[in-house]
Amino acid sequence: MMHRRTALKAIAGTAAAASLPGLALAQNKITMKLGISLAQSHPTVVGLQAACADILKETNGQLAIEVFPNSQLGSDTDMISQVRSGAIDMMSTAGGVFATLIPSAAVAVTPFVFADLPTAFRAMDGDLGAHVRAGFTKVNLVPVGKVWDHGFRQITMSTKPINAVQDLSGVKLRVPATPVLQQTFKALGASPTTIGIGEAYTALQTKVVDGQENSLAIIEAQRFYEVQKYCSLSNHSWECFWIAANPKSWAAVPENLRQVATRAFEAHAVKTRTAMAALNTTLQDSLTKRGMVFNTVNPVPFRDALQKAGAYKEWKGKFGDETWALVEKYSGKLA
């Protein structure tokens, strides 16, 4: 009789544990997929894979997160939809891409907001980042860990360097489908043209556009140096990548494992920032050897031109007073 009662208690305990997703899952290996559009060799992908290796080790194999680079799970917008629906567990992409759902996610890409990388990291690791983070939960996404550095964007041209605002007058410039960047170059007198990154090389080669703007890592990866002579270090916009998870998938992972994962992702996000800084120095040297001519741009006249054009006032209206107050805490008065 005693053995029977003990057995019944054990069964009841197992049933109770099974009714709690976290406790049930803790007894089994949890596998998750994380999609990203960047190439396998990009520092962010390398960092994510290293973080996932640490997570597997530190959880004794209980939590396995596999990274799928090169848009294997779909385009950025496709992956966002899949994560929101639960079709995949996690993904990572730029704030400018998330901005279609979370307007405040585009604040980092707003031109000349951050004077340097330490300021950008201080803002996004602090109150501005926390403010953006709150917007994810409203669209069925959970932000995981700190942001990853994607670098300052620079301007390349085939015919001339960009030194003054007037140098952009009438220039046909390839820009991504990011409203803030499109508005920026239109206000600066250029003719921004939206062309997919996969078609950008051909557009530059055939002179459909005169130039483009991207981080040095992308300029090198896309071989733009073959069809662009000049690279103007404008640092006009900084971009960061966020990791976002499906709320149900993330909540199903026991709290202790989530903490391990978050710590690992944050540790490698910080390590990757250092790797990106070193890479940019190396890339400038290697691109120079490939024939690119570099010049450094004074940002003040460009920022002044945007203020006079009313661009910052327009962005303040779109982002809202609360978001803009946090932006100006780091940028100074803009609008």
pLDDT of residue 217: 87
**Both tokens of residue 106?**
């585009």
Number of alpha carbons in the 13 Å side-chain half-sphere of residue 93: 28
Contact 109, 95 (CB under 8 A): yes
Q: What is the per-residue pLDDT across 13-55, written as a single tens digit (0 to 9) for each?
A: 333 333 333 333 445 799 999 999 888 888 899 999 999 999 9
Q: What is the per-residue pLDDT across 280-296, written as a single tens digit (0 to 9) for each?
A: 889 999 999 999 999 99
Contact 248, 66 (CB under 8 A): no
Local confidence band at 264 (pLDDT 50, 70, 90 cut-offs): very high
* pLDDT over threshold 50, residue 179: yes
pTM of the model: 0.83
Burial call 89-128: b when 16+ CB within 10 Å, e when fewer: bbbbbbbbbbbbbbbbbbbbbbbbbbeebeebbebbeeeb
Give the contacts of 100 (CB within 8 A, at least 6 positions apart): 77
| Domains, the chain, with CATH or none | 29-331 (3.40.190.170)
CB atoms within 10 A of CB 240: 24
CB atoms within 10 A of CB 259: 11
- How far is 148 from 277, CA to CA, in rounded Å? 12
* pLDDT over threshold 70, residue 6: no
* pLDDT over threshold 60, residue 1: no
Local confidence band at 222 (pLDDT 50, 70, 90 cut-offs): confident
> Mean of the per-residue pLDDT values for the chain?
90
Q: At what angle do helices 117-124 and 127-137 cross, to 10 degrees?
A: 50
* pLDDT over threshold 80, residue 230: yes
pLDDT of residue 5: 46
